[in-house]
């Protein structure tokens, strides 16, 4: 039986950027659990990268985000 993954929309804040995109969580998992188990980078799909206050920098179908630069991550697109 295949494990079905669930795409969860998140907003990630770094010191420089606001990133909106999807991460893949197992059903019932929390973003907190995902971050606790993440290694050096997290995979974000359908990513939009914005200046923290300002313009959109770029969009990408896939983006690796360095876990050490994440200051805030929250479910939803804020």
What pLDDT does 5 receive?
62
| CATH class label, 6-75 | mainly beta
What pLDDT does 78 receive?
64
What does DSSP assign to residue 34?
H
Q: What is the pLDDT of residues 23-74, one digit of tens each?
A: 998 888 899 989 998 999 999 999 999 998 889 999 999 999 999 999 999 9
Q: pTM for the complete prediction?
A: 0.88
On the 0-12 / 13-18 / 19+ scale of CB atoms within 10 A, 17 is middle
Stretch 14-20: mean pLDDT: 96
Map out the domains of the chain as residue ranges: 6-75
With 90 as the cut, is the pLDDT of residue 13 above it? yes
What's the rounded Cα separation, in Å, for the pair 16 and 31? 21
What pLDDT does 28 receive?
83
């Amino acid at each position: 039986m295949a494990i079905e993954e669930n795409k969860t929309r998140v907003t990630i804040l770094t010191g420089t950027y606001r990133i909106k995109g999807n991460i893949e969580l197992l059903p019932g998992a929390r973003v907190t659990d995902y971050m606790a188990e993440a290694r050096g980078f997290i995979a974000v799909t359908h990513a939009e990268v914005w200046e923290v206050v300002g313009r959109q920098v770029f969009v990408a179908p896939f983006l690796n985000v360095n876990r050490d630069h994440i200051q805030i991550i929250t479910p939803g697109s804020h």
